[in-house]
């Protein structure tokens, strides 16, 4: 299924094609976006989401700008650069978005076809990175509980919907399942926008992986009750010291995992580790709209106008992270925590 893709003239393009994740799991619908403003709106409203796929979308967005404006004159190039800047800053926390935009922009001298080729390369390299990181993670954790398959807990959504082919943390889960090393996944629902309930459950069900859905506040309780052998999560940005920004609700899982000596493992492409962000306090955490918390879907669950605190992410300090697994390595930023 096309999740983030390009349509050329023959398909009614040039256009960026996105699976509209707002409609899942009940409806499968694609968006055919022919302007960068539409791509930015899709990013902001989470029609497309997940750090790696934001990078791919950003790169295709620059390809769209290059095809629409051309690259032959200084005026055209300035227009492409302006749209690229707007794409790169559409959401602040996930580092791959600006990286994908920058990579595509670097190909501008070669013209629109070169920019598109670079965007396709971003997607292909991301898929290769996912397969490598997911495989390395499965190898790392499969023997955690010798003699029986693992019970994993995850949060938000880190499958192909969020990360491209292969998946990251969910990719490792799929790999463990395929190899007979997985008993069950507990999926945290991930309020307010329910990426766990809507998207992770959809991906797990499609793959035939045994799973149960739990409310976010049940995650720490499940860990404390001995129901979880390993927590596997993704990352939107990792600071140079190993502090990890991921979906809101991740930090409480890391605290619970540390208290129960359950390994807390992050799976993400190497590009997520940002040398320009020294520590977690330097990470800009996106705050989203009040209505996401006031309601579920279109149903208001509190008083209209209730003041809201709605950070989209939290930051887990490096000392709570057992390991960060990328396509290149297993990194334990604070060796004392590396009890895998």
Phi first, then psi, for residue 109 (nearest 5°) are: -60, -25
Considering only 40, 51, 80, 108, the residue that binds ligand MRU (CB under 6 A) is 51
Locate tokens 């993670």: which residue? 137
Report the residue number, 7 or 267, with the smaller CB distance to ligand MRU.
267
In whole angstroms, what is the distance from residue 26 CA to residue 51 CA?
Answer: 23
Query: Which residue's CB is nearer to ligand MRU, number 51 or number 63?
Result: 51
The residue (of 182 and 235) whose beta carbon lies closer to ligand MRU is 235
Q: Quick one: which of 236, 271, 274, 327 contacts ligand MRU (CB under 6 A)? A: 236
Candidates 3-11, 110-118, 150-158, 208-216: pick the segment binding ligand MRU (CB under 6 A). Answer: 150-158
- Backbone dihedral region for residue 138 (phi beyond 0: left; psi -120 to 50: alpha; all else: beta): alpha
Member of 175, 198, 211, 247 binding ligand MRU (CB under 6 A): 247
Which residue number, 89 or 225, has a Cβ lying nearer to ligand MRU? 89
Position 57 contacts ligand MRU (CB under 6 A): no
CB 152 within 8 A of CB 204: no
50 binds ligand MRU (CB under 6 A): yes
For residue 114, the surrounding DSSP H or E stretch is helix 112-141
> Is 130 one of the binding residues for ligand MRU (CB under 6 A)?
no
CB of 42 to ligand MRU, least distance (A): 12
Concatenating the DSSP letter of every residue in 144-210 gives SSTTS-EEEEE-S--SHHHHSTT-SHHHHHHHHHHTT-EEEEEEE--TTTTIIIIIIHHHHHHHT--
Residue 163 near ligand MRU by CB under 6 A: yes
Contact region for ligand MRU (CB under 6 A) — 143-151, 209-217, 231-239, 327-335? 231-239
CA distance 155 to 153: 7
Residue (56 or 116) nearer to ligand MRU, CB: 56
Catalytic: 290? no
Separation of alpha carbons 118 and 164, rounded Å: 16
- Which of residues 36, 152, 153, 156 is near ligand MRU by CB under 6 A? 156
Burial 313-329 (b: 16+ CB within 10 A, else e): bbbbbbebbbbbbbbee
142 or 247: CB nearest ligand MRU? 247
Do 316 and 252 touch, CB atoms closer than 8 A? Answer: no
Taking the least distance from each CB to ligand MRU, the nearer of 69 and 136 is 136
Q: Please report how close the Cβ of residue 193 comes to ligand MRU at its closest, in angstroms.
A: 7
Contact with ligand MRU (CB under 6 A) among 42, 116, 162, 186: 162
Distance CA 311, CA 313 (A): 6
Catalytically annotated residue among 229, 236, 243, 314: 236
Residue 166 phi/psi, 5-degree rounding, is 100, -45
Tell me if 98 contacts ligand MRU by CB under 6 A: no
Residue 164 lies near ligand MRU (rule: CB under 6 A): no
Q: x/- binding map, residues 191-220, to ligand MRU, per CB under 6 A? A: ----x-------------------------
Residue with tokens 């670097």: 106
**Minimum distance of ligand MRU from residue 180's CB (angstroms):** 26
SS3 153: strand
The correct pick among 312, 320, 324, 337 for binding ligand MRU (CB under 6 A) is 312
Strands 323-325 and 313-316: unpaired
**CA 273/CA 267 separation, integer angstroms:** 11
Distances (CA, A) of 302 to 17, 289, 295: 36, 15, 7
Beta strands in 103-240 (DSSP E): 150-154, 182-188, 211-214, 230-233, 237-239
Q: Kindly list the residues in this chain that would bind ligand MRU in the complex (CB under 6 A).
A: 46, 49-51, 156-158, 162-163, 168, 195, 233-236, 246-247, 312
Residues labelled as active-site residues: 236
């Amino acid at each position: 299924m096309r999740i983030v893709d390009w349509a050329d003239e023959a398909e009614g393009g040039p256009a960026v094609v996105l699976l509209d994740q707002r409609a899942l799991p009940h409806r499968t619908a694609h968006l055919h976006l022919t302007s960068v403003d539409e791509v930015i709106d899709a990013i902001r409203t989470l029609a497309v989401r997940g750090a790696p796929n934001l990078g791919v979308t950003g790169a295709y967005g620059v390809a769209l700008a290059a095809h629409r404006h051309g690259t032959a004159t200084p005026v055209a190039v300035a227009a492409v650069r302006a749209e690229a800047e707007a794409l790169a800053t559409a959401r602040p926390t996930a580092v791959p978005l600006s990286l994908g935009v920058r990579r595509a922009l670097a190909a501008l001298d070669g013209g629109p076809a070169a920019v598109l080729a670079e965007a396709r390369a971003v997607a292909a390299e991301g898929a290769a990175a996912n397969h490598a990181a997911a495989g390395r993670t499965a190898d790392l954790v499969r023997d955690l509980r010798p003699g029986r398959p693992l019970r994993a807990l995850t949060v938000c959504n880190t499958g192909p919907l969020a990360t491209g082919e292969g998946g990251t943390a969910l990719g490792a889960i799929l790999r463990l399942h395929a190899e007979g090393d997985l008993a069950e996944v507990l999926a945290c629902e991930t309020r307010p926008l329910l990426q766990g309930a809507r998207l992770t459950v959809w991906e797990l069900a499609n793959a035939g992986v045994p799973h149960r859905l739990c409310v976010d506040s049940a995650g720490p309780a499940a860990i404390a009750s001995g129901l979880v052998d390993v927590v596997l999560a993704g990352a939107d940005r990792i600071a140079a010291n190993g502090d990890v920004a991921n979906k809101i609700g991740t930090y409480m899982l890391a605290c619970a995992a540390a208290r129960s000596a359950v390994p807390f493992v992050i799976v993400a492409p190497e590009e997520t580790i940002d040398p320009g962000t020294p520590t977690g306090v330097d990470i800009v955490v996106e705050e989203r709209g009040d209505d996401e918390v006031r309601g579920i879907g279109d149903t208001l669950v509190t008083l209209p106008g209730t003041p809201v605190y709605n950070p989209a992410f939290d930051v887990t300090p490096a000392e709570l992270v057992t390991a960060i697994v990328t396509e290149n390595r297993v990194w334990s930023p604070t060796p004392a925590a590396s009890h895998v």
